[in-house]
Structure 1
Amino acid sequence: MLFKHLSLLGLAVFSNAAAVSKRDANKIATIDFSTTRGAPKQYGSGILYGIPDTDAWQIPKHFFTDIGINHGRGGGSQVPGKGWVGGEADYVARIKSVHSNYLKLRELGGNFFMLNSGLWGGDGLLVASDPLPGDNDDWSSYDAFLLRVAADINSLGMTQGLIVELWNEADYSAFWLNRSKEQWLKAWGWAYHRLRPLLPASVIIGGPAFATEMSNAGWWPDFFQYVKTNGSVPEYWSYHCLFQAGGIGNDPEWSIAQMNGLLTQYGLPTGSPLSINEYAPPEDQNPGYSAWVISTFERRDVYGLRANWAAGGALHDYMASLVGKPDDTNGGTYSNSSGGYWPTGEWHLYKYYKQSQTGVRVASERSVDDYFDVFATWDASKRKASVIAGTNAVTGTYDIQVNGLPAGAFSRGRARVVVKKYPWVSFRAQVTEAQIVTVSDTVYTVTGGAFTIPLTITEATSGYSLDITPA
């Protein structure tokens, strides 16, 4: 048995050396354990809507706590009625939805982004004849709305962990109904200056929640100029990363760099918090893209919230498609009150991200071609490194160059790496623990704290975890 073990070990080392000699320099991601960045914060564990508007936990609470959901976002969108523009009862229904979601997030120890536009009724279902703030330069209804919102925030005790987003996707016609950019900018300033003195400093005003690509064109430069002149700079910057061509497409690493550059260009402060408040359109909601995008959020200290494009009651369900249930499978009839929830493949990846990636974050960089990325932690108490890896919609073999392993823990010069694959089956499809398969279990030679792990991505939708321990 000893002879067999040594032979297998030699084969693993030989395979590693062969992989190193054939490496494509554009397809190498790096991890440096000598540089740490504090404890993991689950920067990627936020969701848009996805929480049933019930007092009890219709989706069992463990589905949230097991994966560390810590940010939510909503405004009562598509609750029956039209919000403020539909009258008192419609508005009350939506603020009740907001309050319910807010309480759930606070119970989870998280923060909540409140969408004022949803409370108004701007949820993509209004039509051109419906009123918007400032129509015909009449601001009376909008002013009354803002006073009511401020009063409700205070009376309902929503004064901690709340970020108020003044409007969602004003740069997208469905949410601003082809009104002018100038009208919206005035609405922004009106809302900011009306709400700020009515709310405690603990309540943060954020935005602009634009949908269009971060660039020095379109609505962005006018917004930067306006808020600087008007004195209404967001206290928390937020925007979407959806259907954007910059970088390699839907690429938060690229958009964050753009954002910081434009803030500097327009003389605006760069130290405020930043959130990508919608990431991963439906076609990107798989374990592979999730691992790829989470790696950026953790590297850049930016919170991300998963997009959610469901409609009606389903918008307020499914944890932004991290879970599924029987009545929405294979053409079943949806019920907003049914249970029987199950985890998806992504949910299992987020569970690993929350429960296994403990200790401290370590430095990492994605591959030169940008399509492959990793996020790694080191837990000294467990003598264990935990890594997630994935791509943005590509397959192929990539290398993970590991540097700076703790000399004490790896003093014998060997590292065991167990690689598991998290599959995507279909939209909201159930994935069991048994379907999280071990791809490889290999011992590598460590030289000077370094070695290389080749990882072959067979399906772009699959994400991977790697457990690295002394051997």
Structure 2
Amino acid sequence: MNTLLLLLACTGLALAGPGAVLEAQQAVGQTANVDVSVTRGKPDHLASGWIYGIPDNFPNQIPRSWYTDVGFRWGKGGGAQLGAVGQRGWVVSLNDYKGRFASTLANYKTCRALGADFHIYVHDLWGTDHAGGEGGKWPGDNNDFSDYDRFVKQLMADVAANMDPAHVTWDIWNEPDIQPYFWVRSAQQWVNLYVRTHKMIRANRALDAMKISGPAIGFAPGPNNAYWTTWLPQAVGNNTIPDYYTLHLLGGPGDINYDPEYTNVSLARLLKTYGAPQRQVFINEYAAAAEMVPSGYVWWISRLERYDTPGMLANWLSGTQLHDLFGGLLTKRSNPADYAATDYAPAGGYPVYKYYGTNMTGLRVNTTGSADRWLDVYSTVGSDKVRILAGVRVHTGTYAVTVRGLSAVGYASGSVDVTAYSFDGTSTTAIAGNPTSRGKTSYSIANDTITITVRQTEAHTAWAYEFDVKKH
């Protein structure tokens, strides 16, 4: 929830001619590729998770099918923005911590009932939104961690007593570089907190199965990011490397610094520089507010799937909506701000995630995004059809998707009949319909390949393309 990185959302509806002939001058930099002859294992819906977005009761008021249809995998909570007496976090009182833990536990129970894993927002249980700014109470002030140690011990005991640690990840502290929202002290004081917490957790044998994540820095890894270069050598030196390296990629459309294609390289260089081991990367907040439309969602799904990277959607809502609406994938027919209302409806992104979680079966196949980084694709080969999701990252232009290796799915020559669908949602509040059929087009095969043109004249719409798998 990086409030400093809100970007102006684009507007409009994308129109494209799915059966158009590829222009002779189509730029190579605007072409994405799918190779249906090279498989990459079964779909695990790596992008199907979000932070908060789950009502604070169990069983909660959102019907189970809304979760299962999108292949829900990950959830995260910690009681952020709860402001009533008894819900303001440890920084106010033990009783206020208990109120936030009750919210956290309810979200955990929902996740586990659906087979999803749960990540804890520990800074929210502390209560950074009630910490009082510069005059407030922060862990390690005056080099005194005694109150924070009591907090960690209380939370460890509550996790051990109420949760299955094997399905829990402890996120040590969120976005210490996003000040004054989540931290108002020095980078070194935060590193001291991190090292101390990691050692306390690993000394607790009841939590041996629980994963630790970090550093959850808001800005991308690189040699000029003082938070990364302060944290990483000390994490190595103290043997406190997390189980997951957590990144937040919230820069918005066109920002190369917040593209996994870039951050995978920049993080690898940092790890090498400081002699740090490889770990699973988890993008536990992805997509800027401007990307919360179908084209942005598909671009992120495609990126995360290609790099085998789990991810959770960021959540740009606030108040009670933060604890509802799947981070903007859902809305309500009456009033989305009415927390008690149960007339849920799909917002612009939900049909995308439903198609991703329900329709894309079989095996994943190799893909590459366009060289200009705007278009990306995700594809599966099922027993019945080849399915391709294509999304231009909230951008316009003429693009192409080449589909290679067609002989592997039964097309030796001739043509392929491709049906195109558009996802036409425009926002996180307006109700969205099912994907719209844009008709069937016959594409001639050349060199085991067909090429589909996408004319993205508006920014929001994403695309799905389907064609039959021929039986051998």
Give 2:174's aligned residue. 168
Greater shift, 300-309 or 213-222, is seen at: 213-222
Alignment of 1:148-167 (within 5 A): 148-167=154-173
Matched position secondary structure for 1:83: coil
Aligned to 2:449: 450
Matched residues in 1 for 2:73 and 2:253: separation?
28
Would you say the 8 A contact 2:53–2:322 is kept in 1?
yes
In structure 2, relative to structure 1, the CA distance for the partners of 1:458 and 1:167 (3 Å cut) is: same
**Deviation of residue 151 (structure 1)?**
0.4
Which residue among 113, 117, 124 is the counterpart of 1:111?
117
Look up the equivalent residue of 1:45 and give its one-letter code: S
Partner of 2:198: 192
- Within 2, Cα distance between the matches of 1:163 and 1:61? 23
Q: Normalising by structure 2, report the TM-score.
A: 0.90
C-alpha separation between the residues in 1 aligned to 2:373 and 2:74? 27
Root-mean-square deviation over aligned CA pairs? 2.1
Supply the distance in 1 between the matched residues of 2:277 and 2:331 (Cα, whole angstroms): 42
Identity %: 32
> What residue is the counterpart of 1:392 in the other structure?
393
Matched, 1:69 2:72: yes
| 8 A contact 2:91–2:131 mirrored in 1 | no
Matched, 1:284 2:301: no
Of 454-463 and 363-372, the range deviating more from structure 2: 454-463
State the match for 2:7 in structure 1. none
Q: Give the Å deviation of 1:349.
A: 0.7
Aligned to 2:265: 257
**Equivalent runs, 1:2-17 vs 2, <5 Å:** none
Contact kept? 1:238, 1:277, Cα under 8 Å: yes
> Secondary structure of 1:160's partner?
helix
Q: Distance in 1 between matches of 2:236 and 2:183?
A: 26
Comparing 319-328 with 295-304, greater Cα deviation is found at: 319-328
Asked whether the equivalents of residues 418 and 465 of structure 2 are also in contact (C-alpha less than 8 Å), the reply is yes
**Which residue matches 2:339?**
336
Match of 1:33 in 2: 36
Report if the CA contact (8 A) 1:52-1:316 is conserved. Answer: yes
- Which of 61, 82, 96 is equivalent to 2:102? 96
Distance in 1 (CA, whole Å) between partners of 2:253 and 2:419 is: 35
Q: Verify: 1:354 aligned to 2:354, yes or no.
A: no
Distance 2:443 2:317 in 1: 46
Count of residues paired in the alignment: 449
Query: Which structure ranks higher in relative contact order (CA pairs < 8 Å, sequence separation ≥ 6)?
Result: 2
SS in 2 for 1:374: strand
Matches of 2:168 and 2:408 in 1, distance apart?
44
2-side partners of 1:427 and 1:176: how far apart?
A: 25
| Paired letter, 2:420 | V
TM-superposed CA distance for 1:76, in Å, is 1.2
Deviation at 1:407, TM superposition (A): 4.0
Which letter maps to 2:288?
P
Matched residue, 1:237: 245
2:220 is aligned, of 213, 218, 234, to 213
Q: Could you tell me which residue of structure 1 aligns to residue 332 of structure 2?
A: 325
Which is further off, 256-265 or 200-209?
256-265
Aligned-residue offset at 1:126: 4.0
Judging changes above 3 Å, is the alpha-carbon distance between structure 1 residues 124 and 88 closer, same or farther for their aligned structure 2 residues? closer
Distance (whole Å) between structure 1 residues aligned to residue 124 and residue 261 of structure 2? 29
Q: Where do 1:300-449 residues align within 5 Å? A: 300-328=307-335, 334-379=337-382, 381-382=383-384, 384-407=385-408, 409-411=410-412, 413-433=414-434, 436-449=435-448
Alpha-carbon distance in 1 for matches of 2:469, 2:163: 50
The Cα shift of 1:400 comes to: 0.9
SS in 1 for 2:212: strand
1:115/1:164 contact within 8 Å kept: yes
Q: Work out the CA distance in 1 between the residues paired with 2:145 and 2:332.
A: 44
Distance of 1:176 and 1:344 partners within structure 2 = 29
Distance 1:269 1:21 in 2: 47
Structure 1 counterpart of 2:80, one-letter code:
S
Aligned partners of 1:416 and 1:470 also within 8 Å: no
Give the alignment's TM-score, normalised by structure 1.
0.91
Q: Which residue of 2 aligns with 1:202?
A: 209
Corresponding residue for residue 132 of structure 1: 138
CA contact (8 A) 1:47 1:305 kept: yes
**1: distance between equivalents of 2:440 and 2:397?**
19
Distance in 2 separating the partners of 1:394 and 1:54? 39
Could you give the per-residue CA deviations for residues 60-114 of structure 1, whole angstroms, max 9, x where no partner exists?
A: 2211111111101111111233201111221111111111111111111111110
Q: Which amino acid is the alignment partner of residue 154 of structure 1?
A: A
Could you say if the C-alpha distance between residues 377 and 430 of structure 1 is closer, same or farther in structure 2, counting changes exceeding 3 Å?
A: same
CA distance in 1, matches of 2:236, 2:339: 44
Q: Take 1:126 and 1:250, find their aligned partners in 2: how far apart are those partners? A: 31
